[in-house]
Amino acid sequence: MTTTAQPGQPAVARSLRPVLAGAPRPMRGDAARNRARVLDAARAAFAEDGAEVQMEQIARRAGVGVGTLYRNFPTKQALINELAQRWMDERVEIANEALSMPDPAEAFGWFVRRTAEDMAGDAGLCHMFGEFSGGNCGDLPDLLVERTEILLERAREAGAVRADVSVSDFQAILGGLSAAIAQTEKWELFAEMLVTGLRAPAAPCP
Protein backbone atom coordinates (compact mmCIF):
# COMPACT_ATOMS: atom_id res chain seq x y z
CA MET A 1 0.00 0.00 0.00
CA THR A 2 1.38 3.40 -0.96
CA THR A 3 1.43 6.12 1.69
CA THR A 4 1.06 9.69 0.50
CA ALA A 5 3.48 12.00 2.28
CA GLN A 6 2.33 15.35 3.57
CA PRO A 7 4.45 18.38 2.74
CA GLY A 8 7.67 18.28 4.77
CA GLN A 9 6.90 14.83 6.20
CA PRO A 10 8.52 11.65 4.83
CA ALA A 11 6.03 8.90 4.04
CA VAL A 12 8.05 6.21 5.84
CA ALA A 13 8.27 8.15 9.12
CA ARG A 14 4.53 8.90 9.07
CA SER A 15 3.64 5.26 8.39
CA LEU A 16 5.76 4.03 11.33
CA ARG A 17 4.30 6.47 13.86
CA PRO A 18 1.29 4.31 14.91
CA VAL A 19 3.55 1.29 15.42
CA LEU A 20 6.07 3.20 17.52
CA ALA A 21 3.38 4.89 19.57
CA GLY A 22 1.90 1.56 20.61
CA ALA A 23 5.20 -0.12 21.50
CA PRO A 24 6.45 0.26 25.11
CA ARG A 25 9.90 1.74 25.39
CA PRO A 26 12.44 -0.59 26.98
CA MET A 27 13.60 0.65 30.40
CA ARG A 28 17.15 1.99 30.44
CA GLY A 29 19.68 0.18 32.60
CA ASP A 30 19.95 2.98 35.17
CA ALA A 31 16.15 3.35 35.32
CA ALA A 32 15.74 -0.39 35.91
CA ARG A 33 18.35 -0.29 38.67
CA ASN A 34 16.61 2.67 40.31
CA ARG A 35 13.29 0.84 40.23
CA ALA A 36 14.86 -2.25 41.79
CA ARG A 37 16.46 -0.12 44.52
CA VAL A 38 13.13 1.51 45.27
CA LEU A 39 11.39 -1.86 45.59
CA ASP A 40 14.11 -3.28 47.82
CA ALA A 41 14.10 -0.18 50.01
CA ALA A 42 10.31 -0.17 50.19
CA ARG A 43 10.24 -3.84 51.17
CA ALA A 44 12.69 -3.22 54.01
CA ALA A 45 10.93 -0.03 55.14
CA PHE A 46 7.48 -1.63 55.15
CA ALA A 47 8.86 -4.65 57.01
CA GLU A 48 10.17 -2.39 59.78
CA ASP A 49 7.57 0.37 59.97
CA GLY A 50 4.47 -0.96 58.22
CA ALA A 51 2.15 1.01 55.98
CA GLU A 52 2.77 4.29 57.81
CA VAL A 53 6.20 4.70 56.22
CA GLN A 54 6.39 7.81 54.02
CA MET A 55 7.37 7.82 50.37
CA GLU A 56 10.13 10.35 51.08
CA GLN A 57 11.66 7.92 53.60
CA ILE A 58 11.65 5.18 50.98
CA ALA A 59 13.35 7.47 48.44
CA ARG A 60 16.09 8.36 50.92
CA ARG A 61 16.57 4.72 51.82
CA ALA A 62 16.85 3.79 48.14
CA GLY A 63 19.27 6.63 47.45
CA VAL A 64 17.09 8.15 44.73
CA GLY A 65 15.23 11.41 44.37
CA VAL A 66 11.57 11.71 45.23
CA GLY A 67 10.85 12.47 41.58
CA THR A 68 12.41 9.16 40.54
CA LEU A 69 10.27 7.35 43.08
CA TYR A 70 7.05 8.94 41.85
CA ARG A 71 7.92 8.34 38.19
CA ASN A 72 8.01 4.62 38.95
CA PHE A 73 5.12 4.59 41.45
CA PRO A 74 2.73 7.56 41.17
CA THR A 75 0.99 6.65 44.45
CA LYS A 76 1.82 4.80 47.62
CA GLN A 77 -0.90 2.26 46.82
CA ALA A 78 0.76 1.55 43.47
CA LEU A 79 3.97 0.75 45.32
CA ILE A 80 2.12 -1.47 47.81
CA ASN A 81 0.44 -3.31 44.94
CA GLU A 82 3.83 -4.01 43.35
CA LEU A 83 5.22 -5.28 46.64
CA ALA A 84 2.09 -7.38 47.14
CA GLN A 85 3.01 -9.34 44.03
CA ARG A 86 6.39 -10.14 45.56
CA TRP A 87 4.76 -11.17 48.82
CA MET A 88 2.26 -13.35 47.00
CA ASP A 89 5.00 -15.08 45.00
CA GLU A 90 6.69 -15.92 48.29
CA ARG A 91 3.40 -17.25 49.68
CA VAL A 92 3.12 -19.58 46.69
CA GLU A 93 6.60 -20.94 47.47
CA ILE A 94 5.58 -21.48 51.11
CA ALA A 95 2.39 -23.25 50.02
CA ASN A 96 4.38 -25.48 47.68
CA GLU A 97 6.70 -26.37 50.55
CA ALA A 98 3.69 -27.29 52.69
CA LEU A 99 2.26 -29.41 49.90
CA SER A 100 5.49 -31.41 49.79
CA MET A 101 4.76 -32.68 53.33
CA PRO A 102 3.10 -36.10 53.34
CA ASP A 103 0.82 -35.48 56.35
CA PRO A 104 -2.08 -33.14 55.40
CA ALA A 105 -2.76 -32.02 58.99
CA GLU A 106 0.90 -31.30 59.63
CA ALA A 107 1.19 -29.44 56.32
CA PHE A 108 -1.80 -27.21 57.01
CA GLY A 109 -0.68 -26.44 60.56
CA TRP A 110 2.84 -25.67 59.36
CA PHE A 111 1.50 -23.33 56.66
CA VAL A 112 -0.57 -21.38 59.20
CA ARG A 113 2.28 -21.14 61.71
CA ARG A 114 4.81 -20.14 59.05
CA THR A 115 2.45 -17.46 57.74
CA ALA A 116 1.89 -16.12 61.26
CA GLU A 117 5.63 -16.09 61.96
CA ASP A 118 6.35 -14.27 58.70
CA MET A 119 3.67 -11.67 59.45
CA ALA A 120 5.12 -11.13 62.93
CA GLY A 121 8.54 -10.41 61.41
CA ASP A 122 7.32 -8.26 58.52
CA ALA A 123 4.88 -5.43 59.21
CA GLY A 124 4.41 -4.92 55.46
CA LEU A 125 3.37 -8.52 54.93
CA CYS A 126 1.02 -8.23 57.91
CA HIS A 127 -0.54 -5.11 56.36
CA MET A 128 -0.84 -6.81 52.98
CA PHE A 129 -2.89 -9.69 54.39
CA GLY A 130 -5.27 -7.16 55.89
CA GLU A 131 -5.50 -5.32 52.58
CA PHE A 132 -6.31 -8.47 50.63
CA SER A 133 -8.85 -9.48 53.23
CA GLY A 134 -10.54 -6.09 52.85
CA GLY A 135 -10.42 -6.22 49.05
CA ASN A 136 -8.08 -3.20 48.76
CA CYS A 137 -5.43 -5.05 46.76
CA GLY A 138 -7.74 -6.85 44.40
CA ASP A 139 -8.02 -10.62 44.25
CA LEU A 140 -5.48 -13.14 45.40
CA PRO A 141 -3.41 -14.54 42.51
CA ASP A 142 -4.97 -17.63 40.96
CA LEU A 143 -1.90 -19.76 41.65
CA LEU A 144 -1.98 -18.98 45.38
CA VAL A 145 -5.72 -19.64 45.55
CA GLU A 146 -5.15 -22.97 43.78
CA ARG A 147 -2.34 -24.02 46.16
CA THR A 148 -4.33 -22.95 49.22
CA GLU A 149 -7.39 -24.85 48.01
CA ILE A 150 -5.30 -28.01 47.64
CA LEU A 151 -3.92 -27.56 51.17
CA LEU A 152 -7.43 -27.11 52.53
CA GLU A 153 -8.87 -30.01 50.55
CA ARG A 154 -6.16 -32.37 51.78
CA ALA A 155 -6.72 -31.22 55.37
CA ARG A 156 -10.50 -31.53 55.02
CA GLU A 157 -10.24 -35.07 53.65
CA ALA A 158 -7.95 -35.99 56.54
CA GLY A 159 -10.45 -34.58 59.03
CA ALA A 160 -7.95 -31.96 60.18
CA VAL A 161 -10.05 -28.97 59.02
CA ARG A 162 -13.79 -28.39 59.12
CA ALA A 163 -15.56 -29.44 55.93
CA ASP A 164 -17.30 -26.06 55.56
CA VAL A 165 -14.16 -23.89 55.48
CA SER A 166 -13.58 -22.36 52.02
CA VAL A 167 -10.59 -20.52 50.59
CA SER A 168 -12.40 -17.18 50.96
CA ASP A 169 -13.16 -18.07 54.60
CA PHE A 170 -9.52 -18.87 55.17
CA GLN A 171 -8.45 -15.62 53.49
CA ALA A 172 -10.71 -13.63 55.80
CA ILE A 173 -9.39 -15.51 58.84
CA LEU A 174 -5.80 -14.75 57.85
CA GLY A 175 -6.80 -11.09 57.59
CA GLY A 176 -8.05 -11.28 61.17
CA LEU A 177 -4.85 -13.03 62.20
CA SER A 178 -2.82 -10.20 60.68
CA ALA A 179 -4.80 -7.65 62.69
CA ALA A 180 -4.20 -9.59 65.90
CA ILE A 181 -0.48 -9.99 65.23
CA ALA A 182 -0.16 -6.28 64.47
CA GLN A 183 -1.35 -5.52 68.02
CA THR A 184 0.85 -7.93 69.98
CA GLU A 185 3.82 -10.26 69.58
CA LYS A 186 1.87 -13.41 70.48
CA TRP A 187 1.90 -14.84 66.98
CA GLU A 188 2.47 -18.41 68.20
CA LEU A 189 -0.59 -18.27 70.45
CA PHE A 190 -2.77 -16.84 67.70
CA ALA A 191 -1.56 -19.41 65.16
CA GLU A 192 -2.36 -22.28 67.51
CA MET A 193 -5.80 -20.80 68.22
CA LEU A 194 -6.47 -20.58 64.48
CA VAL A 195 -5.38 -24.15 63.78
CA THR A 196 -7.39 -25.44 66.74
CA GLY A 197 -10.47 -23.42 65.81
CA LEU A 198 -10.48 -24.72 62.23
CA ARG A 199 -10.05 -28.35 63.25
CA ALA A 200 -12.92 -30.70 62.50
CA PRO A 201 -14.80 -31.69 65.69
CA ALA A 202 -13.60 -35.31 65.60
CA ALA A 203 -10.02 -34.54 64.59
CA PRO A 204 -7.31 -35.53 67.07
CA CYS A 205 -4.72 -32.96 68.14
CA PRO A 206 -1.63 -33.24 65.89
Domain containing residue 67: CATH number: 1.10.10.60
Considering 36, 52, 74, which residue would you say is the last residue of a domain?
Answer: 74
pLDDT digits (tens, 9 = 90+) for 77-97: 899 888 888 888 899 999 999
Domain shared by 96 and 194, yes or no: yes
Tens digit of pLDDT for each residue in 147-200? Answer: 999 999 999 999 889 999 988 888 888 888 988 888 888 999 999 999 999 988
Contact 129, 177 (CB under 8 A): yes
Least-confidence region, from 96-110, 132-146, 175-189: 132-146
pLDDT of residue 17: 36
Say if residue 49 is in the same domain as residue 101.
no
Q: What is the pLDDT of residue 3?
A: 47
Which pLDDT belongs to residue 114? 95
Average pLDDT over the chain reads 81
Q: Which residues of 67-106 are buried (b: 16+ CB within 10 A; e: fewer)?
A: ebbeebbeeeeebbbbbbebbbeebbebbeebeebeebbe
Residue 27, pLDDT score = 56
Question: Residue 59 above 50 pLDDT?
Answer: yes
163 and 132, same structural domain?
yes
Question: Has residue 55 got a pLDDT over 70?
Answer: yes
Dihedral of CA 14/18/23/25: which sign? positive
Specify whether the CB–CB gap between 74 and 105 falls below 8 A: no
Check residue 51 and report its DSSP letter.
G
136 and 188 co-located in one domain: yes
Average pLDDT over residues 109-122: 94
Domain count, the chain: 2
Q: Which residues lie closer than 8 Å to 141 by C-beta, 6 or more apart?
A: 85, 88, 92
Does the structure show a pLDDT above 50 at 15?
Answer: no
Cα–Cα distance between 22 and 125 in angstroms, integer?
A: 36
Q: How far is CA 193 from CA 23, 109, 189, 190, 200, in A?
A: 52, 11, 6, 5, 13
Give me the mean pLDDT over the 26-41 stretch. 82
How high is the pLDDT of residue 107?
96
Inform me whether the pLDDT recorded for 127 exceeds 90. no
The CATH number given to whatever domain includes residue 109 is 1.10.357.10
| Same domain assignment for residues 190 and 121 | yes
Q: What's the one-letter identity of residue 43?
A: R
Is the pLDDT at 9 greater than 80? The verdict is no
Residue 110 lies in a domain: yes
Same-domain pairing of 108 and 194: yes
In the predicted model, is pLDDT for residue 7 greater than 50? no
For the chain, give the percent of residues with pLDDT over 70.
79
